[in-house]
């Protein structure tokens, strides 16, 4: 155990991570996740509009993506840490308690992408283009969410004497239990240990990647999902080495944390996608929401001012114009042997050959 006397400076942990307003529990972990989501939606929508999309699209997609992402994040956490909930001494009901922490980024991104795909299908816009617009905002939201881990005293590394070491306090809950891992407890003032703040490392790394993504997007104007792939690759590169520093409980494969394997695999997939995806950026016209077929049908039958035209009158006018044209041709034809004036309707009766021609013209009009 490292004592606070062994370090020149340190980062103190907050005394608690939950505050109660009557029966209502305000949890820092949840609040920072909500703040991150709001920031991602607002900034993501601005980036989408700048690329040629319609304002409000990101919020519409978030209605699908956020719930899917939360479910996916929790599923990934439970699957990769199943002994905590389903082994002897575990409580399966705790797997549903998201407010106690435990959201896997990869599960959130994977299932969140499914929700975003559904939303994009409904709006008629390309998912890869949306991913490029929201990639930096999503990563910034992740960095903001990591602050919640600070209040929960979780996601830390091995003990250290570095000046920026994080001081972990013992906490006591209402039941009298004392442990540094209690989320709903209050600090006793007793230092348990000083550790590497790996959640802070991840947050700072994420901010650096956000800056890099914005620069790359402006400098090279890439699209078709390639910026989103860079976000995934950049995050995984940092998460891999940060994961190796963590000492909190996690599932292992061959002695290596499962998240390290996930980081490496997802990194490779993201790089491959970036290398082989379509170059350039989408035409802004492709980012406009497609109209439903029923609406398109109505538009095609309406006039340019959006009002329905009277088809019967239009057809009648066309026939009148055609008949007038035919009558004009007949009226200017040479007079017959009776010397009838061309303007005389009776004298303007066409000959058989002219009648055939007039009939053909009417048939053409009817066709």
Q: Give the torsion sign (CA, 107, 118, 61, 220).
A: positive
Q: Residue 212: what pLDDT? A: 98
Nearest to 228 by CA among 123, 113, 144: 113
Cα–Cα distance for residue pair 20/22, rounded to 1 Å: 6
Q: What is the mean pLDDT of residues 313-341?
A: 46
Instruction: Decide if 168 contacts 15 (C-beta within 8 A).
Output: no
Q: Which residue has the higher pLDDT, 54 or 98?
A: 54
DSSP assignment of 176-204:
--EETT-SS-EEEEEEEEEE--HHHHHHH
Has residue 235 got a pLDDT over 90?
Answer: yes
Q: What is the DSSP letter of 195?
A: E
- Higher pLDDT: 227 or 177? It is 227
Residue-wise pLDDT for 121-159, tens only, equals: 999 999 999 999 999 999 999 999 999 999 999 889 999
Backbone phi, then psi, for 3, in 5-degree steps?
-90, 155
CA distance 165 to 156: 10
> Mind listing the pLDDT tens digit for each residue in 171-185?
998 888 899 988 889
More confident residue, 90 or 347: 90
pLDDT number for residue 131 = 96
Instruction: Please give, one letter per residue, the 3-state secondary structure of 13-66.
Output: CCCECEEEECCEEEEHHHHHHHHHHHHHHHHHHHHHHHCCCCCCHHHHHHHHHH
Which of residues 294 and 277 earns the better pLDDT score? 277
Tokens 């890099």 sit on residue: 212
Mean pLDDT on 301-327: 47
> What integer pLDDT is reported at residue 204 of this predicted model?
97
Percentage of the chain modeled with pLDDT above 90: 54
- Looking at residue 290, its pLDDT comes to 65
CA–CA distance, 3 with 194 (Å, rounded to integer): 7
Which position has the higher pLDDT, 367 or 70? 70
Average pLDDT over residues 75-84: 84
- Token pair belonging to 360: 């053909």
pLDDT class of 8 with cuts at 50, 70, 90:
low
Window from 2-16, 165-179, 220-234 with minimum mean pLDDT: 2-16
Range with lowest mean pLDDT among 28-42, 101-115, 221-235: 101-115
Question: Residue 286's pLDDT is what?
Answer: 84
DSSP state of 194: E
Q: Could you read off the pLDDT of 31-47 as tens digits, one per residue?
A: 999 999 999 999 999 99
Using CA atoms, how far apart are residues 230 and 13, in angstroms rounded to an integer?
Answer: 33
What are the CA-CA distances from residue 311 to residues 102, 294, 316, 322 (Å)? 63, 19, 8, 16
Q: Which residue has the higher pLDDT, 360 or 203?
A: 203
Count of residues making up the chain: 367
Q: Is the pLDDT confidence value at 4 over 70? A: no
Tokens 């939201």 — which residue?
Answer: 141
Task: Name, of 53-62, 99-108, 278-287, the range with top average pLDDT.
Answer: 53-62
Q: Is the pLDDT of residue 243 over 60?
A: yes
Evaluate if residue 340 carries a pLDDT over 70: no
Q: Tokens representing 146?
A: 């990591």
* CB 250, CB 261: distance < 8 Å: no
Averaged pLDDT, 62-70: 96
Q: Can you tell me the mean pLDDT for 198-209?
A: 97
């Amino acid at each position: 155990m490292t004592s606070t006397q062994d370090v020149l400076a340190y980062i103190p942990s907050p005394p608690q991570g939950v505050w109660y307003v009557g029966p209502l529990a305000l949890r820092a972990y949840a609040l920072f996740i909500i703040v991150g989501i709001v920031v991602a939606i607002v900034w993501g929508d601005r980036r989408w509009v700048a690329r040629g999309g319609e304002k409000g699209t990101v919020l519409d997609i978030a209605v699908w993506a956020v719930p899917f992402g939360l479910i996916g994040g929790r599923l990934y956490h439970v699957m990769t840490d199943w002994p905590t909930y389903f082994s002897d001494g575990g409580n399966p009901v705790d797997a549903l308690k998201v407010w106690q922490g435990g959201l896997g980024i990869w599960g959130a991104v994977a299932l969140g992408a499914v929700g975003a795909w559904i939303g994009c299908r409904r709006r008629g816009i390309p998912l890869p283009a949306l991913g490029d617009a929201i990639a930096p905002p999503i990563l910034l939201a992740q960095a903001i969410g990591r602050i919640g881990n600070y209040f929960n005293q979780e996601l830390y590394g091995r003990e250290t004497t570095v000046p920026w070491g994080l001081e972990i306090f013992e906490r006591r809950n209402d039941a009298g239990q004392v442990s540094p891992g209690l989320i709903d407890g209050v600090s006793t003032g007793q230092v348990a240990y000083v550790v590497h703040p790996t959640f802070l490392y991840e947050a700072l790394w994420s901010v650096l990647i956000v800056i890099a993504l914005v620069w790359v997007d402006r400098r090279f104007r890439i699209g078709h999902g390639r910026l989103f792939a860079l976000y995934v690759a950049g995050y995984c590169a940092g998460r891999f080495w940060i994961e190796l520093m963590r000492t909190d409980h996690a599932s292992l494969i061959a002695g290596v944390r499962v998240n390290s394997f996930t980081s490496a695999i997802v990194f490779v997939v993201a790089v491959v996608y970036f290398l082989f995806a379509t170059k350039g950026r989408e035409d802004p016209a492709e980012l406009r929401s497609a109209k439903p077929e029923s609406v398109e049908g109505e538009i095609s039958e309406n006039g340019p001012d959006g009002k329905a035209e009277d088809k019967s009158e239009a057809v009648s006018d066309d026939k009148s114009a055609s008949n007038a044209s035919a009558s004009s041709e007949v009226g200017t034809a040479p007079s017959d042997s009776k010397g009838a004036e061309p303007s005389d309707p009776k004298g303007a009766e066409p000959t058989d050959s002219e009648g055939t021609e007039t009939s053909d013209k009417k048939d053409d009009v009817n066709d």
